[in-house]
Amino acid sequence: MIARLGGALLAAVLALGAADPAAAQQRQVRIATEGAYAPWNFTGPGGQLEGFEIDLANDLCRRMNARCTIVAQDWDGIIPGLTAGRYDAIMAGMNITDRRLEVINFSRPYAAGPHAFAVMPNSPLRAMPGTGRTFSLATQEAELVAILNQIKPLLRGRTIGVQTATTNSAFLTQYFGDAGATIREYRTTEEHDLDIAAGRLDAIFAAVTAITATAEKPEFRGLAPAGPLMSGGILGRGVAVGLRKADADLKAAFDAAIEAALKDGTISRLSEKWFKTDIAPRS
Amino acid sequence: MDLAFLADCFLRIVPGIPMTLALTALSVSVGLVFACLLAAMRLSGNTLLDWPARLHVFVFRGTPLAIQMFLIYFGLAQFEVVRTSVLWPYLREPFWCAFGALMLNTAAYGSEIVRGGLLAVPCGEVEAARACGMSGFLLFRRIVAPIALRRALPGYGNEIILMVKATSLASMVTLVEVTGLAARIISTTYRVFEAFAVAAAIYLAINFAIARAVAALEWWLSPHLRGAPPPAPDLRLAH
């Protein structure tokens, strides 16, 4: 009797397990984000991760039929953490660059926004040449460099903040390394925001989406882009999911999911929600 | 092991060594003055002097240095009063904020080491000096200070070495020192082991030099502990 009951129980358990084949096939994906780069990804008041990339990751995971866990990881160790296998993907406002492609792989881009200097309202740098115009370093470099050369003398002796190991810091080093300005590298964008509000910095160089989000907080009121809005070239070829080179099938899954999310307008909708503007890549 | 990359790392980290040394030297030397002052306040027997010193030690020894540095650099800058004060030209600069945090921290630890050294001076020595007619500053200079210095030196040597390592936190407030440069190499090359191994070797070399210097100072200050030199052979016996 007991043996039969046990047998029935075992059969029931087996049947339960078999009844959900999707669960058995579900891919486990661990996604790392910085959690300190509003509104892309940040830590909300309750300690939970929020932002454009958190919403997007959840949407992509649904499309890939994957069970995702999102973890926070400091920016300066985020690529070594991926290659060491501590997680499987990076969604942290990371641009595709040649340097990063030497070490990791990227999905197709899911966002592409411009970068710019930003200054506080009372700054003499407010009306830098090129303000309000948009340039691509990939196709209009000569025209842009002419404007940057007019900006250079204005920055002499000034202090500019930038997040370390970003396309932004690479841009400053390449185009303003000889401008006679002090380039101060910060671990997070939040820290250089604090320092420009405190008056320690004359300007910051960051993604316009991040500048706009910061300017919405009362203590940073009036922070605004100055000079041209720039993208492409050393500033990267768009924001994408960072993946290990060996994980070709995970890349294929992300590519397909991003493609679908672009096509049905999900990415544009999330972009409008978080950035108040559509930064879905057009290509 | 990629020797060419290690050499490249070394050359890129070397420019950070002056910052590490400057932070250490300045905070340790100014911190020592403060430490002596705090120890004197603790031993003064005056409650009004004793308690502020106790409070300083309690606060700076009881909280992490990283938090002290963040509080001084990012925290104080939040207040309009601080940003318009006469101290702002200094607090504005990451160097002086890092120096301030390191100095106040080592002053707290150092004061306990100095106090311990002073309390370790045997009463008998002081009584003997008094019996010989010494008092006041003469007694302190000839008897108390030399003994206290010898007692405090090994502990203080530790403190200097801890300070060298503590300067690695200065990269948090954007200063470009050894650890900060190593982290920067990692974030562009993604090779963690080589860059940190080179940084570790640099700290090891600095601390080796400091440990030897402190040991030499100890040796020089303790002639009475060294055995008498062997007597010169008496050549007359050879005849």
**A91-134: pLDDT as tens digits:** 999 999 988 999 999 999 999 889 999 999 999 999 899 998 99
Q: Say if residue A14's pLDDT is above 70.
A: no
Query: 3-class DSSP state for residue B108?
Result: helix
Determine, for residues A76 and B187 on separate chains, whether the beta-carbon distance falls below 8 Å: yes
Whether the CB-CB separation of B179 and B233 falls below 8 Å is answered with no
Q: Say if residue B100's pLDDT is above 50.
A: yes
- When the candidates are 1.10.3720.10, 2.60.40.420, 3.90.230.10, 3.40.50.80, the CATH number that belongs to B3-222 is 1.10.3720.10
Between β-strands A134-136 and A66-72, what pairing exists: parallel, antiparallel or unpaired? unpaired
Q: Which residues of A touch B83 (CB under 8 A)?
A: 198-199
Residues of chain A with pLDDT > 70: what percent?
Answer: 91
Determine, for residues A165 and B188 on separate chains, whether the beta-carbon distance falls below 8 Å: yes
What's the rounded Cα separation, in Å, for the pair A107 and B72?
A: 42
Element (DSSP H or E) covering residue B33: helix B17-43
Query: 3-class DSSP state for residue B227?
Result: coil
**Which of B77, B174, B183 is the closest to A186 by Cβ?**
B174
Domains of chain A: 26-112+237-275 (3.40.190.10), 115-235 (3.40.190.10)
- In a mutational test of the B interface, the residue from A97, A164, A188, A244 whose CB has the highest number of chain B CBs within 10 Å is A164
> What residues form DSSP beta bridges with A41?
A37
**A216-233: pLDDT as tens digits:** 999 899 999 999 999 999
- Tokens read off for B239: 């005849």
Instruction: Return the residue matching tokens 């209009």.
Output: A140
| Averaged pLDDT of chain A | 90
Write down the domain spans for chain B.
Answer: 3-222
What's the rounded Cα separation, in Å, for the pair A252 and A159?
A: 43
- Which one is predicted more confidently, B226 or B130? B130
Which chain A residue has its CA at the smallest distance from B75's CA?
A194
What's the rounded Cα separation, in Å, for the pair A233 and A226?
A: 20
CA distance A185 to chain B (A): 6
Q: Say if residue A277's pLDDT is above 90.
A: no
Q: Which residues of B touch A186 (CB under 8 A)?
A: 174
Q: Say if residue B230's pLDDT is above 90.
A: no
The model's pTM is 0.81
Instruction: Return the residue matching tokens 């911190």.
Output: B31
| Averaged pLDDT of chain B | 93
Q: Say if residue B10's pLDDT is above 60.
A: yes
| Amino acid, res. B196 | F
Give the A:B interface size as CB pairs under 8 Å.
45
- In a mutational test of the B interface, the residue from A103, A171, A185 whose CB has the highest number of chain B CBs within 10 Å is A185
- Tokens read off for B21: 């040394």
Q: Which residues of A touch B188 (CB under 8 A)?
A: 99, 165
**How confident is the model at residue B218, as a pLDDT?**
93
What's the rounded Cα separation, in Å, for the pair A202 and A210?
A: 17
Whether the CB-CB separation of A104 and A83 falls below 8 Å is answered with yes
Q: How confident is the model at residue B135 (pLDDT cuts 50, 70, 90)?
A: confident
- Which one is predicted more confidently, A137 or A9? A137
Between β-strands A242-243 and A89-90, what pairing exists: parallel, antiparallel or unpaired? antiparallel
What's the rounded Cα separation, in Å, for the pair B174 and B94?
A: 7
**B21-52: pLDDT as tens digits:** 999 999 999 999 999 999 999 999 999 999 99
Q: Which residues of A touch B76 (CB under 8 A)?
A: none
Helices first, then strands: H and E counts in chain B? 12, 0
**Average pLDDT of the residues in A81-100:** 94
**Is the CB of residue A85 less than 8 Å away from at least one CB of chain B?**
no
Instruction: Return the residue matching tokens 């070709």.
Output: A248
**How confident is the model at residue B59, as a pLDDT?**
97
**Average pLDDT of the residues in B71-99:** 93
What's the rounded Cα separation, in Å, for the pair B73 and B58?
A: 21
**B171-199: pLDDT as tens digits:** 999 999 999 999 988 878 888 899 999 99
What's the rounded Cα separation, in Å, for the pair A5 and A123?
A: 80
Interface of A with B in 168-187 (CB under 8 A): 184-187
Element (DSSP H or E) covering residue A144: helix A141-155
Structure letter (DSSP) for residue A244: -
Element (DSSP H or E) covering residue B3: helix B3-13
CA angle B215, B221, B162 (to 5 degrees): 35
Which chain A residue has its CA at the smallest distance from B183's CA?
A76
* Core vs surface per residue B176-200: b (16+ CB within 10 A) or e: bbbbbbbbbbbbbbbbbebbbebbe
